[in-house]
Structure 1
């Protein structure tokens, strides 16, 4: 158990890790809240090194970790308890350590919903068709969150088998579609691929919202094409900040302060461009 008054230690783990923007976000919130806390980068270069980091967490040296590639699946497998969101994607981007136990969570889906609330506030997906491009871990998180919000989710992916597994896991509100008709009545299209999708945005209705989970570059070719047609767009940076909010609360025990962290992150991105 952490002694009263001791520094709360959080961080982010992945390899490579120097590019991570999480310390910028969490560091700003820590300073604004006046917490006795730290949030640093951890770059274990092997599964064994990551396991050693988790052992430090179990021993009480860490309160929590955000986890990025390539350790999300290992993080989930090492946990003693896992949220429904983490079980859906079989991976975790958040670990909380308490009394020698590890609790795993995935905050990507919530981050997506918070990003939509911020940058597409008029969007209501309940009872509406939405399209997700991809069927990997990011797509799973998106599908779970959107299906939970009452949307009729359609998965468009090159591999039908993988998309069908996702559809089966998320539930009856998800259908697999690879035809142009999949986009006809969609109120939202989410790119969950790590590459530019083969999508003609001219197929979309004028009111469709287009989201790209990628934030480097901030305005991806997909978002640029959508903006050119006057469509509402949602960028991956909004999702990154959105998924960090529940992580901050889980690790540090308070809600993230209401400050403009986006400007700080944009400045950091410009420095590293």
Structure 2
């Protein structure tokens, strides 16, 4: 049975009639089925100019979202009625009415012989229950009207409460059930499985890392990416990266760039999973909904290994994984941080940047473990610095590393393997600066740090600093090969470094 493809409605962020018309003209070739005009974002004095949008190359949905439901419009019922009635008199294909505020309008417009198809929307609060969704979807509505319910929820709650309300194989095609927050992009990706009437998308990203700047709702995916994935049907492949937090991740941008250049019909999401228990609960259902592979970052690398059915040699040696790949019902764990670090260490040695066989590793987590495995392949001697004496001792015993206290001996190479440097991570409280001096090369796992304390201190000491961008791209190339059975070219790796990470 071929899944019902939902309408892909692009929410236009423009705030003037002129900009809106220009944007609509660009969207049809990108795969939009319709466009949503958010009149609550327009200046009040421009609302009478809505008629200037006609004729339109795409069907249009008129929305005036109230402030009470997350929009910029007025909540006054008389004001809303005046604006929405005027919009209903124009040849819009769809009109959004809010179930909680527009009951009188719903009754009067539902009785019309002609007019736009009504989308009856309700934006729930985080504490609303799944029973509330069922109540809204099953409630009486005018003939032909579409019920739309939006609920903020995480990935775990989606699978626990919302997913059971959706039926594989298709629903009535007269319902829209969407979520915002951590599960929002996932619901849009799997919508064809459940016969939803429509999903809402963002305009195409104008350059990498631009999506967040143009999406009215952060959970919206770019229309061109969503359309390619939908149209590919069973050939489309779904991937993700998870961690907590995950907003900083550039993995979606890198994989999307490579999929587009290699003409691969895939979609790559960022999923913020808040606990290892939640990851354990959702991994199998994610696979059932089509997820074929997932990159894993801090702090779930250890959990990823424990949840896998099988693991590769590097993951087993490191005791953690940064990739999960699904074949059938079986998840395999891999650790491509190891191969990425090994590749970079060899390059640094060959270039003369790393001048001896010693290195200092700051940290005791998954990135540190990957570094220790890579260093052992090169028979390097490693010193470990960490906050917890117990963690350092266990790591040193496991990998044959050295434990050092405060020292003024300058190191040739220092690898920073903690997430410190991100805005949402506490400052590094491990003494390391005494090991840095002229000639020291500092390799940071953190890419594009929000707080570049490591770079500043390294340069102050006369050393050389490299952020984690190259390591990210190297492990992404390994992941891409595991997902698609083909490796991106060196030229595509370089493009990722230049365009995504803005580095040479």
TM-score (ref. length: structure 2): 0.47
SS in structure 2 at match of 1:18: coil
> Aligned to 2:497, which of 256, 262, 269?
262
CA 231–46 in structure 1, closer or farther in 2 if over 3 Å, else same:
closer
**Residue number in structure 2 paired with 1:152:** 381
Deviation track 1:152-203 (CA, whole Å, cap 9, x = no partner) reads 11112243332121122113xx21112415x44x3211122324443335x5
> Aligned to 1:250, which of 461, 471, 482?
482
CA 126–87 in structure 1, closer or farther in 2 if over 3 Å, else same:
farther
Deviation track 1:84-127 (CA, whole Å, cap 9, x = no partner) reads 32223432210000121111012222223344566775147696
In the alignment, is residue 190 of structure 1 matched against residue 415 of structure 2?
Answer: yes
Deviation track 1:12-65 (CA, whole Å, cap 9, x = no partner) reads 123433332110011111111111222112234455543354214544712211
Runs of at least 5 residues in structure 2 that lack an aligned partner in the other structure: 1-231, 421-426
In the alignment, is residue 215 of structure 1 matched against residue 453 of structure 2?
Answer: no
In the alignment, is residue 175 of structure 1 matched against residue 402 of structure 2?
Answer: yes
Residues 239 and 267 in structure 2, CA contact (< 8 A), matched pair in contact too: yes
Q: Within 5 A, what are the aligned runs for 1:47-66?
A: 47=276, 49-56=278-285, 58-59=287-288, 61-66=290-295
How many Å separate the matches in 2 of 1:145 and 1:57? 31
Residues 236 and 266 in structure 2, CA contact (< 8 A), matched pair in contact too: yes
CA 18–225 in structure 1, closer or farther in 2 if over 3 Å, else same:
closer
> Aligned to 1:84, which of 282, 304, 313?
313
How many Å separate the matches in 1 of 2:318 and 2:283? 20
Residues 363 and 384 in structure 2, CA contact (< 8 A), matched pair in contact too: yes
TM-score (ref. length: structure 1): 0.81
CA 19–218 in structure 1, closer or farther in 2 if over 3 Å, else same:
closer
Return the offset for 1:219. 7.8
How many Å separate the matches in 2 of 1:233 and 1:123? 15
CA 25–163 in structure 1, closer or farther in 2 if over 3 Å, else same:
same
How many Å separate the matches in 2 of 1:163 and 1:52? 31
Q: Within 5 A, what are the aligned runs for 1:1-273?
A: 6-47=235-276, 49-56=278-285, 58-59=287-288, 61-116=290-345, 122-123=351-352, 128-171=357-400, 174-180=401-407, 183-184=409-410, 186-193=411-418, 194=420, 195-196=427-428, 197-200=430-433, 203-204=435-436, 206-217=438-449, 220-257=452-489, 258-259=491-492, 260-266=495-501
CA 104–123 in structure 1, closer or farther in 2 if over 3 Å, else same:
farther
Residues 218 and 235 in structure 1, CA contact (< 8 A), matched pair in contact too: no
Tell which has more relative contact order, 1 or 2 (C-alpha 8 A, sep 6+): 1
CA 217–4 in structure 1, closer or farther in 2 if over 3 Å, else same:
closer
Residues 58 and 98 in structure 1, CA contact (< 8 A), matched pair in contact too: no
How many Å separate the matches in 2 of 1:256 and 1:53? 30
Residues 57 and 97 in structure 1, CA contact (< 8 A), matched pair in contact too: no
Return the offset for 1:79. 0.7
SS in structure 2 at match of 1:251: helix
SS in structure 1 at match of 2:291: coil
Residues 95 and 103 in structure 1, CA contact (< 8 A), matched pair in contact too: yes
How many Å separate the matches in 1 of 2:266 and 2:308? 24
SS in structure 2 at match of 1:63: strand
CA 206–49 in structure 1, closer or farther in 2 if over 3 Å, else same:
closer
SS in structure 2 at match of 1:169: helix
How many Å separate the matches in 2 of 1:47 and 1:163? 23
Residues 133 and 191 in structure 1, CA contact (< 8 A), matched pair in contact too: yes
Return the offset for 1:10. 1.4
The number of residue pairs the alignment matches comes to 261
Deviates most, 134-143 or 107-116: 107-116
SS in structure 1 at match of 2:235: coil
- Mark the structure with the bigger radius of gyration: 2
SS in structure 2 at match of 1:41: strand
**Residue number in structure 1 paired with 2:61:** none
SS in structure 2 at match of 1:146: helix
CA 199–44 in structure 1, closer or farther in 2 if over 3 Å, else same:
closer
- Alignment root-mean-square deviation, CA: 3.0
